[in-house]
Structure formats: structure tokens, C-alpha cells
Structure 1
Amino acid sequence: MTTARDVMHPGAQCIPVGETLDRAAQLMRDMDVGALPICDNDDRLCGIITDRDIVVKCIAAGHDPSRVTAGDLAQGTPRWIAADADILDVVEEMAGRQIKRLPVIENKRLVGMISEADLGRHLPEEHVATFVERVYTTH
């Protein structure tokens, strides 16, 4: 059985809730990623921030990214998957919720992230096609 751990990108780095969005953008640039998990002071996942969030919800809204924190943009309960979850459960979670990145959790701690590209590298073509159709089709 292929698990979330088998396909994830290990060692995802959290950004603290109190860190500013300009710093989040710098980390994304330095790490060459488009999203960062947001973690609280106990390293618990409390959201995900994307490069698009920074542009649309901060800059385009007229806010200063050096004054807005990652926690300010964290909304709702973040979706995640257990490290030992079956890959088909990963696909269902991502496709069913139309999300492109999914944190992987073990022992209540972030251990990695799964992206569309990770799925593309590890799934048979027919599963990738189904995933893409479900994520990018508007309902």
C-alpha cells in the first residue's frame, strides 16, 4: 500500500502565526514553494498561506505585508492527512475539497506536504486525470 508518507515532500517548514507576510514571501522565494503551513507556538498546524493569499488578501486589499501576520490570514480548520493514510485517501481528500496542497501529520506534528506534483509523480495516469478533473472543475 502506498501511503501519504511515500509521496509527500518531507521536512515542510512552518511559518509562525506571528510572522509577517513579507517574511512569508521571502521564505517561499528562498524555498521555491508557493505555500507554507502556519503553525502556532506549539508547532501545531493552524493554517496554510499561499503566495496568492499574500497578493490577493493583503497587497491587493491595500494592506502592508510587513504589518500583516500569517495568523491574520489563517482561516478555519486546515485540512490534513495522516502520514500512514492510503494514497487513494489522499487523492479523495484533495480532489473532494479541491485543494492543491495537503499537510501530512504524524503524532500531531507536521512531517511533510503533498502537492499536485507529488501526486503526478506517484499515481497512475488515470488517477492523475481524475484528480485534475475534480480539482479544476467548478461546480
Structure 2
Amino acid sequence: MTTAADIMHHGARWIPATETLDRAAQLMRELGVGALPVSDPRDPGERMCGIITDRDIVVRCIAAGHDPSRVTAGDLCQGTPRWISTDATVEDVLREMESHQIRRLPVIDDNKRLVGMISEHDLALQLSDDQLAQFVERVYA
């Protein structure tokens, strides 16, 4: 049985909620990623308060006329962060991503530590064409 740990991208990195969006964008560029989990300021690097994406920075900050050097990652975090455990099945991953219409999912180990991220790309490497088409239809609907 294939698990979340088998398909995730290892080495996900946090960004503190207090960090500015210009620094978040720089870190995304350095890491070659489009999203970063944001750590809760009450428990830095241990507890997630959300995720920010490159699209969030552009649409919700820059296009809205805000200065990314003055807006923090925590300012953009909304709602309840979603995650999945390392031992979850691919079906569990799909269900979580589809039901919440999200494209990236942090993976947490038994000690509740961030160990990876699952993206659409990671799923595309694992799913059949039909499964992938169904996933895209449900997430982008």
C-alpha cells in the first residue's frame, strides 16, 4: 500500500508567521516551491497556523495594493490548516485534497512534525490518467 510518506516531497520548510511576504517569496524561489507552511507564533516551527502560496502573495497582497515587505505570512493565513499523516493512504490524501479543494498538503509524522508536502505534481507521478483527471475535476470545480 502506497502511503503519503511514499509520495511526498521531503524537506518541506516552515516560514514563521511573523516573516514578511517578500522574504516568503524569496524563500519559495530558493527552494523552488510554490507554497510554504506557516508556523504558529505561539509555537514556532512546531505548530502550523496555515499555508501561503505564491498566488496568495500576488493576489491578496500585491494586487490588493499592499507592500509585501510590510505584510506578514501570518496576515494571509485563514481558516483551519489541513494536513495528513505519513501513514495515510493515497486515497486518504485524495479525499482530503478534493474535499477541501486544495492543491498542496503538508505531511506530518507521528510526533506532529512537518516532514514533507504533497503537491499535484507528486500525485501526477502516482495516479492513473483517469484518477488524475477526476482529482483535477474535483479540486478545480
TM-score range, shorter chain: over 0.9
In structure 2, what is the equivalent of residue 14 of structure 1? 14
In structure 1, what is the equivalent of residue 121 of structure 2? 117
Equivalent residue of 1:113, what SS? strand
Structure 1: 5+ residue stretches without partners: none
Structure 2: 5+ residue stretches without partners: none
Determine what percentage of the aligned residue pairs are the same residue. 70
Equivalent residue of 1:122, what SS? coil
Aligned pair partner of 2:132 in 128, 133, 136: 128
CA contact (8 A) 1:45 1:109 kept: no
Tell me the TM-score normalized by structure 1: 0.94
Could you list the runs of 4 or more consecutive aligned residues of structure 1 that deviate by over 2 angstroms after TM superposition?
A: none
1:37-74 Cα offsets, whole Å, 9 max, x none, are 10121521111001111111111111111111101111
* RMSD of equivalent CA atoms: 1.0
Pairs aligned (count)? 137
Q: How does 1:1-139 map to 2 (within 5 A)?
A: 1-40=1-40, 41-106=44-109, 107-137=111-141
Equivalent residue of 1:13, what SS? coil
1:92-129 Cα offsets, whole Å, 9 max, x none, are 11112111000001111111000001000012222111
Tell me the TM-score normalized by structure 2: 0.93
Equivalent residue of 1:76, what SS? coil
